[in-house]
A and B are shown apart, each in its own frame.
Chain A
Amino acid sequence: MAKARVKVPASVKKGEVFEIKALVKHKMETGQRKDRKTGQKIPRDIINKFQVTYGGKEVFSSDWNPAVAANPYIAFFLRAEASGDIKFKWTDDKGKTTEETAKLTIS
């Protein structure tokens, strides 16, 4: 679907609470806009769900409505428990998904 970028610290200490930043490219069409030529409303097409799994468990998720800005950016926190993959998944109205994985290393 779209390009995504995630930023996770290069290494963290066990128990440390660290910030993750994630950005995905998506126009987030609100469904409010009209096509200037036809006068028809442009159908809504937004990313409505963002999910994060860490150590195989869902640890954070978010539901989005049209008021979330285009190319949605989100920053949130996780507590470092073990080295492993942090997986990100965005799902849009058409059911298309974008996935991204970041490796977390505990020093």
Chain B
Amino acid sequence: MVTKIVMQPATRRDVMRLAGTGALAAMFAGILPGIAGADPAAAAAAIAKLTGGKAAKEGKIKMDVPQIAENGRTVPVSFEVESPMTDKDYVKSVHIFADKNPTPDVSSYHFTQHCGKAAVSFRMRLGGTQNVIAVAQMSDGSVYMAKAPIKVTIGGCGG
């Protein structure tokens, strides 16, 4: 009787979708190594190594990521760092980290004053729900950091 009451408001489509998700999850669980060995401390260590332990400031970096990524195999990520991009004041590089991927380092982008704008869009893999971190190194040696959480439905580091 209880089951009946619960089922009533659900349409057939809802039920099918639920069943489908379960089956998909089971299928992927078998072939994905998952995010075993993923460790936010590894990402923190990689960032510390990059900055030489220098404290990162907040701000200047604008990240554009989806809140929920249905497929971790290709997640669009964009960032822009506020900078005049002149000979004296420009963004030297931006490094992207994913704190729960098997390898936390994702990519590094090296800019010059000829870029005009320190902005990049690319697509990345995410092994599961986690934070994507951007670390920007400026020409004056200062470091800025930004973090964006992404919820991942299906991981993309194996299978």
Q: B residues bordering A, Cβ < 8 Å? A: 31, 33, 73-75, 78, 85, 98, 101-103, 105-112, 114-126, 156-159
Contact = CB atoms under 8 A, between A and B. Distances in A.
A72 B108 CA distance: 14
A1 interface: no
Q: Taking each of B98, B109, B126, which has the highest tally of chain A beta carbons within 10 Å of its own beta carbon? A: B109
A56 to B, nearest CB: 12
Interface stretch (A2-10, A59-67, A89-97, A98-106): A59-67
A25 interface: no
A77 B125 contact: no
Given A30-B158, A66-B102, 8 more contacts: A17-B117, A60-B111, A62-B108, A68-B106, A69-B73, A69-B122, A74-B121, A74-B122
Contact of B115 (A33, A66, A74, A77): A77
Contacts of B118: 77
A69 B115 contact: no
A13 interface: no
A41 B121 CA distance: 30
Interface residues of A, number: 30
Given A30-B158, A33-B158, A67 B107 contact: yes
Contacts of A78: 114-116
B114 A79 contact: yes
Contact of B123 (A63, A72, A76): A72
A62 B116 contact: no
A81 interface: yes
